């Protein structure tokens, strides 16, 4: 075969005679977009993306169908070609129907791959589920207990029956790992030599520490309190997050190698300047919102009036203070709810929450309000305190005034107004003030840097919402300290993003581009989702969280919600409709659309299902709603076992009424899935969408027959996600059988042996390696001494590696001293 010289994009390229422009470009490392070319074959209904300009030809030609010629000058990226490709991609996208990312994933403030961890639960891969959560949230235990669950509000299962109990699943996997003492084997990158100080060891601070330590930075957390945890420990009562759970969670984070300085108060024990002098290249302020706004009314400072955070801290530290039998809690946030519920547990018989608006307008999570109410907390709504005074005969008299909503202001917001002459009195022993918290009372003290730190009008630290930098260079702030009390997950997200910025800045890296917002969707709102999507899905109500009865729960600080059992978690995980596309990381249509700046939100996408999803093949699922008729499946099938047809084509060349049939001689090898250009074909057992998580491809040799097929294990964390093969590699050149591509589940099967076993009293029982090895050596030694080395025989293993077979025979011939060594070659 003679060599042909041509030019592509001005570069001299050599190609074999008869090869196409597409193949020649690929060999030269020039990427010509195509959706329908696979292993040298292209579709009978071409995608038209690969058109290129050839000097001397009037019209662009298809690179996949045009052979190279000597002296040819090819342009693959002219403006006209790019415009043409954009148009073609938009045309193909118009009928593509599906979700790239699931709504739960898109709604989560932390952008956690929710569908992914639910799928791990369904597969019993609990540790991997936790690792997946921890890629974006190092607090699965706490968030799994207190999250407001933004994700569940968008769960499409609502259109069938109930949303999936997502958060309970997160808690389940975290708890399961704790109960089973699973080492998550979280690893940090190699050390960068950069030091980072974090002030405040609450959820934000520890999140920042976690992600910075993972990147290899030397992180020190300074915490004023005697223990880490911040609001999780001192602001949330133990019936929400038990101490042992929080301790375990924090120790998991610290295991990455994070230094901790407890009892170190900013401004007293160190200053920003002193930290900088100690060589900290960056400082992250995550001090939280610990300053209770005072009750600015008459008597607001009387004994018996206490700020909510102080109350919660006392309660959590087990202080013996007596709060009496009756209490009022002023405020409607989550802190107010926890204060009220804690008071009940500390013996108060009557706890009244006072709030100037309606219950639905309280800032507390509605679930928290309901729980407080079930436990007996009373609500005095549309009322506001105006005065507190000491009552005769002890206790406090709180004077309240009724409120009503005033006229809407310029923005249309109606503020409550006092209704004159409606005062009422509440006799209590304690008044808890939970009207709001901020980072400080107006200034931070300590030194000149502290004084220069710019604050918001609400006395929080001002930080740039894009890069979390304060007005001081190298000093960042995130979490409640910057915006007042919010949910844990919101603090986690802010601190994670702050950590990313600190990392980039410390190493002088360009900031990582924001994740593409590109997304196909079956409907952004529930109204837009066609109910035909859910045909055939049977109603299966959500699992109910087991909880202690409220009358019992209020008697102590033990946890109220008891957590899912493994079976409940599995049932619940199986309710997931898996909205997001499992081809997320391999979809060529999405990749090319993003590369070409095509936005299907503007150019159009499918809006309702045309085809029923099919599960009848043993290893493959088919969703023709995503099919763009590239025919890669049929063209890549080496068994010619796929019958793919279209009844007709519309005026823009798109296939109508597609049918895909796996013929009887299909061997279920799954190669078609690896070549599908969208998510129309998926592997039935690959239900974990890879949404930006890091995966590794490990090339290895198939462990089954003697053919020696080369394969790639796609690994996420410590789990094999799927198996693929490289079409260019001997001896199998991309072919694998059903065993090779699908038979890897034995690797991480629960039946695997995990500990040495030794027979005791007729039973095999677990023992240490030391015991097993010593005992075996001794028995071999004794038998050898008594009957000679030939009284011992060994079977080696034709399934194990060369190195191991070599050592087995070496062991038998040297340590034992016999040639009684053989293997099952003949079997």
* Distance of alpha carbon 110 from alpha carbon 136, whole angstroms: 6
* SS3 readout for 807-821: HHHHHHHHHHCCCCE
CB of 469 closer than 8 Å to CB of 129 = no
* Distance of alpha carbon 244 from alpha carbon 578, whole angstroms: 34
Closest CB to another protein among residues 411, 826: 826
Question: In whole angstroms, what separates CA 770 from the centre of its chain?
Answer: 39
Binders of another protein among 761-790, rule CB under 8 A? 764, 769, 772-777, 779-781, 783, 787, 789-790
Binders of another protein among 493-512, rule CB under 8 A? none
Residue 303 neighbours by CB distance under 10 Å: 8
Does residue 638 touch another protein according to CB under 8 A? yes
Closest CB to another protein among residues 265, 810: 810
Among the listed residues 639, 655, 677, 692, the single contact to another protein using CB under 8 A? 639
Closest CB to another protein among residues 82, 715: 715
Closest CB to another protein among residues 663, 800: 800
Per DSSP bridges, beta strands 291-292 and 305-307 are unpaired
Closest CB to another protein among residues 447, 789: 789
Shortest CB 703 distance to another protein, Å: 4
Closest CB to another protein among residues 413, 753: 753
- The interface mask with another protein, positions 697-726, x = CB under 8 A, is -xxxxxxxxxxxxx--x-x--xxx------
* Distance of alpha carbon 485 from alpha carbon 438, whole angstroms: 8
Does residue 793 touch another protein according to CB under 8 A? yes
Shortest CB 482 distance to another protein, Å: 39
Q: Which helix (H) or strand (E) element contains residue 120?
A: helix 114-122
* Distance of alpha carbon 316 from alpha carbon 330, whole angstroms: 20
Does residue 69 touch another protein according to CB under 8 A? no
Binders of another protein among 796-825, rule CB under 8 A? 796-825
Does residue 637 touch another protein according to CB under 8 A? no
Q: Specify the DSSP class assigned to residue 170.
A: H
Shortest CB 40 distance to another protein, Å: 14
Shortest CB 800 distance to another protein, Å: 5
Shortest CB 321 distance to another protein, Å: 48
Question: And the tokens for 188?
Answer: 């940090």
Residues in contact with 761: Cβ distance below 8 Å, sequence separation at least 6, in sequence order: none
Tell me the CA distances in angstroms from 311 to 221, 346, 516, one per residue in order.
Answer: 26, 11, 45
Binders of another protein among 513-572, rule CB under 8 A? none
Binders of another protein among 723-762, rule CB under 8 A? 729-732, 735-740, 742-749, 751-759
Q: At what angle do helices 166-179 and 126-134 cross, to 10 degrees?
A: 110
Does residue 179 touch another protein according to CB under 8 A? no
Q: Specify the DSSP class assigned to residue 239.
A: T
Closest CB to another protein among residues 515, 766: 766
Shortest CB 724 distance to another protein, Å: 13
Map tokens 């005992």 to a residue: 775
Task: Tell me the H-state helices in 215-332.
Answer: 243-254, 272-277, 308-317
CB of 500 closer than 8 Å to CB of 512 = yes
For the chain, the maximum distance between any two Cα atoms, rounded to a whole number of angstroms, is 109
- CA 201, 206, 208, 209 dihedral sign is positive
Shortest CB 722 distance to another protein, Å: 12
Binders of another protein among 667-686, rule CB under 8 A? 667-669, 684-685
Question: Binding-site residue total for another protein (CB under 8 A)?
Answer: 108
Closest CB to another protein among residues 516, 801: 801
Does residue 420 touch another protein according to CB under 8 A? no
Among the listed residues 185, 268, 414, 645, the single contact to another protein using CB under 8 A? 185
Shortest CB 643 distance to another protein, Å: 18
Does residue 618 touch another protein according to CB under 8 A? yes
């Amino acid at each position: 075969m003679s060599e042909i010289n041509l030019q592509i994009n001005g570069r001299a390229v050599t190609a074999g005679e008869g090869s196409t422009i597409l193949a020649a470009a690929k060999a030269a490392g020039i990427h010509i977009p195509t959706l329908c070319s696979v292993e040298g074959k292209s579709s009978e209904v071409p995608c038209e993306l690969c058109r290129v300009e050839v000097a001397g030809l009037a019209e662009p030609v298809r690179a996949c169908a045009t052979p190279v010629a000597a002296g040819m000058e090819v342009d693959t990226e002219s403006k006209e070609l790019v415009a043409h490709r954009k148009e073609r991609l938009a045309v193909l996208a118009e009928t593509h129907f599906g979700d790239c990312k699931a709504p739960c994933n898109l709604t989560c403030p932390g952008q956690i791959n929710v569908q992914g961890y639910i799928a791990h639960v369904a597969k019993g891969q609990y540790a991997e589920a936790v690792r997946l959560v921890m890629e974006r949230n190092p607090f699965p235990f706490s968030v799994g207990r207190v999250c407001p669950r933004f994700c569940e509000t968008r769960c499409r299962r609502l259109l069938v029956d109930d949303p999936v109990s997502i958060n309970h699943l997160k808690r389940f996997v975290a708890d399961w790992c704790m109960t089973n003492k699973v080492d998550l084997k979280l690893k940090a990158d190699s050390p960068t030599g950069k030091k980072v100080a974090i002030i405040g060891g609450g959820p934000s601070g520890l999140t920042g520490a976690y992600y910075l330590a993972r990147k290899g930075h030397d992180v020190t957390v300074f915490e004023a309190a005697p223990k880490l945890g911040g609001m999780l420990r001192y602001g949330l009562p133990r019936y929400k997050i038990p101490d042992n759970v929080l301790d375990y969670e924090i120790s998991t984070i610290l295991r990455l190698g994070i230094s901790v300085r407890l009892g170190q108060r900013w401004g007293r024990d160190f200053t920003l300047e002193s930290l900088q002098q100690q060589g900290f290249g960056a400082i992250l302020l995550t001090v939280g919102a610990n300053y209770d706004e005072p009750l600015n009314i008459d008597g607001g400072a009387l004994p018996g009036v206490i700020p909510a955070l102080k109350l919660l801290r006392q309660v959590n530290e087990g202080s013996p203070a007596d709060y009496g039998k009756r209490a009022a809690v002023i405020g409607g946030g989550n802190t107010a709810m926890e204060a009220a519920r804690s008071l009940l547990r500390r013996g108060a018989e009557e706890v009244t929450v006072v709030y100037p608006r309606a219950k639905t307008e309280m800032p507390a999570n509605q679930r928290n309000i309901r729980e407080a109410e079930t436990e007996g907390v009373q609500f005095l709504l549309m009322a506001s305190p105006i005065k507190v005074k000491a009552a005769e005969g002890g206790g406090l008299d709180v004077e309240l005034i009724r409120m009503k909503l005033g006229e809407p202001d310029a923005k249309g917001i109606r503020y409550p107004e006092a209704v004159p002459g409606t005062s009422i009195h509440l006799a209590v022993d304690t008044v808890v003030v939970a009207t709001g918290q901020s980072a400080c009372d107006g200034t931070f003290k300590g030194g000149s840097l502290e004084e220069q730190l710019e604050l918001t009008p609400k006395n929080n630290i001002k930080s740039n919402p894009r890069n979390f930098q304060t007005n001081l260079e190298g000093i960042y702030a995130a979490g409640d300290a910057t915006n007042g009390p919010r949910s844990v997950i919101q603090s986690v997200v802010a601190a994670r993003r702050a950590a990313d910025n600190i990392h980039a800045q410390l190493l002088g890296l360009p900031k990582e581009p924001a994740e593409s917002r590109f997304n196909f969707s079956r409907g952004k709102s529930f109204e837009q989702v066609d109910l035909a999507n859910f045909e055939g899905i049977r109603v299966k109500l959500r699992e109910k969280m087991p909880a202690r009865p409220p009358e019992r729960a209020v008697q102590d600080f033990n946890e109220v919600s008891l957590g899912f059992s493994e079976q409940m978690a599995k049932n619940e995980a199986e309710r997931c409709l898996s909205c997001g596309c499992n081809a997320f990381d391999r979809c060529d249509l999405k990749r090319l659309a993003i590369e070409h700046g095509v936005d299907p939100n503007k150019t159009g996408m499918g809006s309702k299902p045309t085809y029923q999803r099919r599960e009848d093949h043993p290893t493959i699922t088919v969703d023709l709603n995503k099919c763009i008729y590239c025919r890669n499946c049929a063209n890549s099938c080496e068994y010619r076992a796929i019958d793919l047809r279209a009844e007709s084509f519309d005026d823009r060349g798109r296939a109508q009424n597609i049918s895909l049939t796996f013929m009887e001689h299909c061997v279920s090898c799954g190669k078609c899935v690896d070549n599908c250009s969208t998510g129309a074909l998926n592997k039935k057992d690959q239900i974990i969408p890879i949404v930006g998580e890091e995966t590794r491809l490990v090339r290895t040799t198939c462990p089954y027959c003697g053919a020696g097929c080369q394969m790639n294990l796609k690994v996420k964390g410590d789990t094999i996600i799927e198996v693929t093969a490289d079409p260019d590699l001997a001896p199998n050149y991309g072919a694998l059988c059903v065993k090779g591509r699908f038979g890897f589940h034995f690797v991480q099967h629960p039946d695997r042996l995990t500990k040495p076993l030794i027979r005791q009293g007729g039973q095999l029982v677990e023992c240490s390696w030391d015991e097993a090895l010593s005992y075996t050596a001794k028995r071999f030694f004794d038998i050898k001494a008594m009957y000679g080395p030939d009284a011992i025989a060994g079977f080696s293993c034709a399934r194990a590696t060369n190195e191991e077979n070599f050592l087995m025979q070496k062991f038998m011939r040297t340590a034992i001293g016999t040639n009684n060594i053989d293997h099952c070659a003949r079997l």
